[in-house]
């Protein structure tokens, strides 16, 4: 499996985004030194796509597949794409506060700690639906790992489309998110323009 091993803060700097969107509290003091080059239209579009891929931890081929699927759905392609990325199981685990970062959420799902509607799911890209109940396995709930995670994520705001119980490590998807509820610094229209060339 391909893994992105680029240092997170370095990648955030090059994409011009804040690491807090990834659940990381660190700040980089270094400034990106670019010789006042004006970015081309293609460069801007490419950067937005790279930002979305980096935030959600999706590689190029699956990302392209999400885009094709979003085109086939009714409504705006860009919004459909963002809603699909946001409703991935690893992202929902992160949003519910069961993981500090999306990478950790992906690992938790991979290690078979997550139940969706009582069934064990170990596919990070599994798309959740409205009404799904997501919880951490009963025998894992008491582990020191989750106690540490809950301490860190207790103050984090859970989006309105989710309902989270950090004590019991369970959560419910009230509805699929609308674009306005997705707080990521990505302009999906530029991604649509890039792929429709």
Domain 8-28+39-85+181-195, CATH 3.40.50.670 — does that match?
A: no
How do beta strands 170-173 and 133-136 pair? antiparallel
Q: What is the pLDDT of residues 85-119, one digit of tens each?
A: 999 999 999 999 999 988 899 999 999 999 999 99
The predicted pLDDT at position 9 comes to 75
What percent of the chain has pLDDT above 70? 89
What percent of the chain has pLDDT above 90? 53
Query: Which three-class secondary structure state does DSSP give residue 128?
Result: coil
Q: What is the pLDDT of residues 23-62, one digit of tens each?
A: 676 665 666 555 556 788 998 999 999 999 998 989 999 9
The predicted pLDDT at position 30 comes to 62
Is residue 196 over pLDDT 90? no
Is residue 149 over pLDDT 70? yes
The predicted pLDDT at position 34 comes to 58
DSSP string, 115-126: EETTEE---TTP
The predicted pLDDT at position 162 comes to 92
- The predicted model scores a pTM of 0.87
Structure tokens at 165: 């119980």
Query: Which three-class secondary structure state does DSSP give residue 177?
Result: coil
Helix (H) or strand (E) holding 69: helix 60-72
DSSP string, 14-60: HHT--GGGGT------------SPPPPHHHHHHHHHHHHHHHHT--H
The topology under which CATH files domain 88-176 is 3.10.290
Q: Domain ranges in the chain?
A: 8-28+39-85+181-195, 88-176
Q: Report which of 59, 1, 2, 26 is spatially closest to residue 12, judged by C-alpha positions.
A: 26
């Amino acid at each position: 499996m391909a893994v992105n091993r680029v240092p997170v803060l370095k990648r955030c700097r090059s994409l011009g985004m804040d690491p807090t969107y990834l659940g990381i509290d660190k700040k980089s003091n270094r400034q990106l030194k670019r010789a006042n080059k004006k970015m081309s239209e293609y460069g801007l579009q490419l950067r937005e796509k790279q930002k979305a891929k980096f935030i959600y931890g999706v590689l190029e081929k699956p990302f392209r597949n999400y885009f094709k699927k979003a085109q086939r759905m009714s409504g705006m392609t860009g919004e459909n794409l963002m809603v699909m990325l946001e409703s991935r199981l690893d992202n929902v685990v992160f949003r519910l506060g069961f993981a500090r970062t999306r990478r950790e959420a992906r690992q938790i799902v991979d290690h078979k700690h997550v139940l969706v509607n009582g069934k064990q799911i170990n596919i990070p890209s599994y798309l959740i639906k409205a009404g799904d109940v997501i919880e951490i396995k009963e025998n894992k709930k008491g582990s020191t790992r989750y106690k540490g995670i809950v301490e860190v994520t207790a103050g984090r705001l859970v989006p309105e489309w989710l309902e989270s119980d950090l004590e019991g490590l369970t959560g419910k998807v009230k509805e699929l998110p609308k674009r306005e509820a997705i707080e990521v610094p990505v302009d999906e229209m530029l991604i649509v323009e890039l792929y429709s060339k």
